[in-house]
Amino acid sequence: MIPLISNNEKKVYVLTGPTKSGVVIYGNDYLLTFNNENELKSTKRLHANIIPVNYGDDKNISVAAMHSHLPETGELITATDICTTMLYEKFTGWENVYVMSKEYVSIWNCKTDELNVMKKEAFEKINK
């Protein structure tokens, strides 16, 4: 869980962690918001499913990870995608994490912890 209080708004992001090494879990995550009396105001499911991503071992090394978002998840990388990536990026050896949607590609640089977003059409032209 990742609690946040910003601009008098109370939120908690709920993440799912792996039960074995060699895998990062995206999805099955929620955003909870609370009122001033700390009562649950709303619950929002951020991803519609669980997305396990293997990051390899000494013999099979992956340098990047990718998953896609359904329209109900949104066009851009989620806060929980970034949190999960930052929690595990040093163990995985990934250089980048890509989140694909219908219109955009979000690219998280694991070395610099910076986000770049571009139109999917531009991304596809660059990577031909």
Q: What is the spatial distance between Cα 28 and Cα 75, in angstroms, rounded to a whole number?
A: 17
pLDDT at 43: 96
Give the sheet arrangement for strand 64-68, strand by strand.
64-68, 96-100, 104-109, 114-119
CA dist., res. 115 & res. 106, Å (int): 7
- Looking at every residue in the chain, the average pLDDT score rounds to 92
Q: pLDDT for 53-82, tens place per residue?
A: 988 777 777 889 999 998 889 999 999 999
Helix (H) or strand (E) holding 89: helix 79-92
Residue 33 pLDDT exceeds 90? yes
Higher pLDDT, 36 or 115: 115
Q: For residue 34, count other CB atoms closer than 10 A to its CB.
A: 16
Percent with pLDDT over 70 in the chain: 100
Q: What is the pLDDT of residue 20?
A: 87
The answer to whether residues 97 and 81 touch, using CB atoms and an 8 Å cutoff, is: yes
pLDDT: is 117 or 18 the higher one? Answer: 117
* Residue 41 pLDDT: 97
Please state the pTM of the whole predicted model: 0.87
